[in-house]
Amino acid sequence: MKDTTFKISPGIIWSSSIFLGLLASVPQIAERHFKPAEAAVNSAVTGAFSLFVWYYNIYTLPKPSHNKQLNKSISYSRLLTTLVIGMGVMLALAYIQQLILTHMNFGPVMLMIEVRGILINLVFYMLINLLYQNYQNQQVSVELERIKADNLGAQYELLKQQINPHFLFNSLNTLKAMVETGDQHSVDFILKLSNFYRFTLESRKLDLIHLSDELDIVDAYNFLLKARFEDGFIFTNTIDDQYRGTLIPPFTLQLLIENCIKHNVVSLDHPLHIKLYTEGDNIVMENEIKPKRFEEPSTGVGLKNINLRYDHLLDKQIEIIAEDKTFKVKLPIIHEHYHH
């Protein structure tokens, strides 16, 4: 979460400190024998201490954290430390006042100044912490609104990728050609196309599904591609059965395959080989790089979509590796216990 820096206007800090300094000299002004020097020194001591309390409490505030849980309780240890240091500073200011006004009795003056310092410290500590908690709440609200907007955008882009009119158009053209030639796999093609869009409707509202369900979607999708490209499309899946119970955002693998088809040549003369396997704690989709001669400009929607879902759902990033001859996308494996 990108936080703006917590700030309190210098005008508020200085004006409030000067006001407290003037307020501290009111009793002396009201005395019958008003002594301007004593009132001025007393105001300066109180104002200087108020400035110190402002800046010290702001400086010692907890640093912004990426932890989504906010600690709204008062830190009594920090409060105690602030009071002790404040008393020491006030004692030093009282000693300076005594050096300037030597005729004054140091004992009563010190006691009065210390009590005043403790009260100022307490009030400013509570005020600054109240302002800081309000600032944190505003930051979290802004972040939640941003995440909500990003998730809505991701769902919209995902839906556009899933129900791709271009893909549906190609699939229907392939089906038309199969029917016209009396291909015996026409019925299977219709069933797989139906299953694929059924999977789309069932899974589009879910954040995570089992890898086994995602592989069923991939199987249906690959059958349609195989009918279209025949031996020009080769897909190899070597994922061990032990990973089929792990989780994955729906249509992630289908989007990656679609991305490979979009950016590479797929033909009988130049078959496109896509491999799916595990490596460490990642699921890897790898394909040969065979760029099209006239490739349409890439918007990066597919990979951005996948990375956005991993980031917002799991605080994890996918890894994209583009080498000379191969292109890899590594997806972090999501175990059931992590989801819960």
Mean pLDDT of 212-232: 87
What domain range includes position 218?
203-332
255 pLDDT band, cuts 50/70/90, is confident
- Say what percent of the chain tops pLDDT 70: 77
Q: Which pLDDT score is estimated for 67?
A: 47
Look at the block and give the residue holding tokens 């309000």. 134
Number of domains in the chain: 2
- Give the separation between CA 130 and CA 122, rounded to whole angstroms: 12
Specify whether 132 is located in the same domain as 47.
Answer: yes
340 pLDDT band, cuts 50/70/90, is very low
* Contact (Cβ atoms closer than 8 angstroms) between residue 161 and residue 302: yes
**Residue 50 vs residues 16, 27, 132: alpha-carbon distances, Å:** 8, 18, 18
Specify whether 211 is located in the same domain as 301.
Answer: yes
Q: Which pLDDT score is estimated for 35?
A: 66
Specify whether 88 is located in the same domain as 211.
Answer: no
Q: Which residues pair with 286 in a beta bridge?
A: 275, 328
16 falls within a domain: yes
Strands 319-322, 326-332: pairing kind: antiparallel
* Contact (Cβ atoms closer than 8 angstroms) between residue 6 and residue 65: no
- The whole-model pTM stands at 0.53
Mean pLDDT (the chain, rounded)? 78
Q: What angle do CA 309, 315, 321 make, to 5 degrees?
A: 70
Listed residues 140, 160, 180: the one ending a domain: 160
178 falls within a domain: no
Specify whether 236 is located in the same domain as 292.
Answer: yes
| CATH code where residue 229 lies | 3.30.565.10
Specify whether 14 is located in the same domain as 153.
Answer: yes
Q: Which pLDDT score is estimated for 241?
A: 87
- Give the separation between CA 279 and CA 287, rounded to whole angstroms: 15
Q: Which pLDDT score is estimated for 68?
A: 45
